[in-house]
Chain A
Amino acid sequence: MKKQKEKICTIIALIILFILVYFAQNRLDAYKIRILNLGAIYVTLGVSLNLIYGFTGQFSLGHAGFMAIGAYVTALLVLPPYYKEVSFILEPLIWPFTVIHAPFIIALFLSGLFAALVGFLIGLPVLRLKGDYLGIATLGFAEIIRVIANNLPHITNGALGIKGIPEFTNLWWTIGVAVVTIYIIKGLINSSYGRALMAIRENEIAAEVIGINLTNNKVMSFTISAFFAGVAGGLFACLLTTIDPKAFMFVMTFNILAVVVLGGLGSITGTVIAAFLYNIFLEYLRPIEAGFNLGPVHFPPIPGLRMVSFSILLLVLILYKQRGLLGGIEFTWGGFFRFCNKLFSNKKSTEGSAS
């Protein structure tokens, strides 16, 4: 009975989201839409990183690498043949990339699959490492991907990158992918398999002696995480329309990590909120880089100042609210209704006292 009610609530919420996306896509200006698109892509990236880091407890810094893989796969699959001829100036694009072509949705799916395959192959040896060592190894992996992209001009066009990628990405795609990502990863977390992952996070030895295979479960989590990072990379490529290896430097992973930490490790709701806040915040702070007056003091233009101020904010948050913005609370319909009830009854009682 209760499950039924929650299902209906979810469907209503999705319909409302659908209407909101419709209006946002048609009424908002391109600049705002872009920020929302980025926010939604960060939701996918953040939730997938949270799966491996927040829920499975494996410190992975490879997300930019998986994103890069996804971005290049999508770019090569959706790029019109004309652009494939003109933009590869250093070295001509080699067969079969010259002829393969796929619709956006298939390109995204293949991006995910390819990233997942690489994740699986990398994860198998690397996930034996723990903590900082794993972080460094995965960071190294992401760098390797970037260096490869830089040095395979007849596939990636080297440092020049790929230009003229069709701008397929819109709010339908980014929000749609984010919703699917949340649905699947939440479904995984709230299952026996998800419990196994959290058991590994909590205590590896205990998990092992109650029959949980560490390698299999870690690799499974890592592979799924890589899949969604790859899909997000594809969305990213078709949002920017230009990609080059510089777009996938460590800063990219840092941004995603910041979103996950901001929202709280192991909190999907937190990640969603943090992903949008982060992107809106960074845009909002853009003017300060142009220089500003604070009372009588004049600050000259300092590029990168918004990242600095963001980092300070993150630091303060980590110091004072270690479990993230929401303190580890997860959204549930039950909690939502309790919250509404409280609001409502408060209102009533204040009204009562006023009269």
Chain B
Amino acid sequence: MEILNIDNITMQFGGLTAVKNFELRLQSGELVGLIGPNGAGKTTIFNMITGIYTPTINRIYFKEMDITGMKPDKIAKLGIARTFQNVRLMENLTVIDNVMIGFHLRLRSNLASAIFKFPGYIQEEENIYQKSIELLEKVDLERCKMENAGSLPYGQQRKLEIVRALATEPKLLLLDEPAAGMNPQETKELMCFIQKIIDDFDLTILLIEHDMKVVMGICERIVVLNYGLTIAEGNPKEIQHNPEVIKAYLGVEAQYA
């Protein structure tokens, strides 16, 4: 089943075209990588899918529904979740609260029953707590559940952010450089984790990543962006040998090296 259809969108900021004529179709259960040098427009694409920006031209469809211009919270309710390149946690709240907040959008109890703690609400809250603990166990964060999210090391904050996204029970998960700031060991664990949740949670994942090992290792399909334009698309092997990509992307890497 086709879950996401990005139909030729363009995003302009004043005179700057950050993304131009971008097309992407995601099938349910896919894990697709989105790569490209700094400033290529990757994050901007995420911002358009999640409703933070509205594309200047053309539209985005999620499960065949037009979501262009919808508010982020509505898009989240439809089943799209994401993480941010520069982690955005509720830093002064506890780790467990950060996960429990993710379940708020599916809450059925009304305000009065929550304030006055009616049995129905208490039951629901209890369920949310249990599910949050289970999610935290999956990334080994259960033991620091009462710590402030802001006090965790960077790598763990990233994991927590993924878990919070999972709490919203998404169908499509967008990960913006999840391995940034992680050591090789953590990165390895993260790769396994990402592959595991696709099956466990029946997900589709779009992944932005600078770490080539991560992308080449786990993505079946990769889209390469440069200056807002799609310059290549294919499986890891094809991408590795694509001269355009080597020039634009790997060339930059070589410069850094």
Contact = CB atoms under 8 A, between A and B. Distances in A.
B134 interface: no
B232 interface: no
User: Most chain-B Cβ atoms within 10 A of its Cβ — which of A196, A199, A206, A210?
Assistant: A210
B125 A191 contact: yes
Contact of B104 (A184, A187, A188, A192): A192
Nearest to B105: A211
Interface string B35-63: 00000000000000011100000000000
B163 to A, nearest CB: 11
Chain A's interface size range is: 20 to 34
Contacts of A210: 76, 81, 101-102, 104-105, 164-165, 167-168
B121 A195 contact: no
6 contacts: A192-B109, A195-B97, A199-B93, A206-B90, A208-B52, A209-B51
B52 A202 contact: no
A199 B73 CA distance: 13
Nearest to A184: B115
A283 B198 CA distance: 65
A192 B125 contact: yes
Interface in B73-124: 73-77, 81-82, 84, 88-93, 97, 100-105, 107, 109, 111, 114-117, 121, 124
Chain B's interface size range is: 35 or more
A193 interface: yes
A212 B73 contact: yes
A202 B104 contact: no
A190 to B, nearest CB: 9
Contacts of A207: 90, 101
A146 B52 CA distance: 39
A199 B88 CA distance: 11
Nearest to B106: A211
A216 B128 CA distance: 22
Contacts, number: 98
User: Most chain-A Cβ atoms within 10 A of its Cβ — which of B82, B90, B167?
Assistant: B90
B60 to A, nearest CB: 15
A191 B129 CA distance: 12
Nearest to B88: A206
Nearest to B167: A210
A196 B101 contact: yes
A212 B82 contact: no
A41 to B, nearest CB: 22
A203 B150 CA distance: 12
A107 to B, nearest CB: 23
A211 B50 contact: no
Given A210-B164, A211-B168, A220-B111, 14 more contacts: A191-B117, A192-B114, A196-B104, A203-B89, A205-B88, A208-B52, A209-B52, A209-B75, A210-B76, A210-B102, A210-B168, A212-B101, A212-B104, A213-B73
A199 B52 CA distance: 17
A214 interface: yes
A202 B73 contact: no
A184 B82 CA distance: 34
B247 interface: no
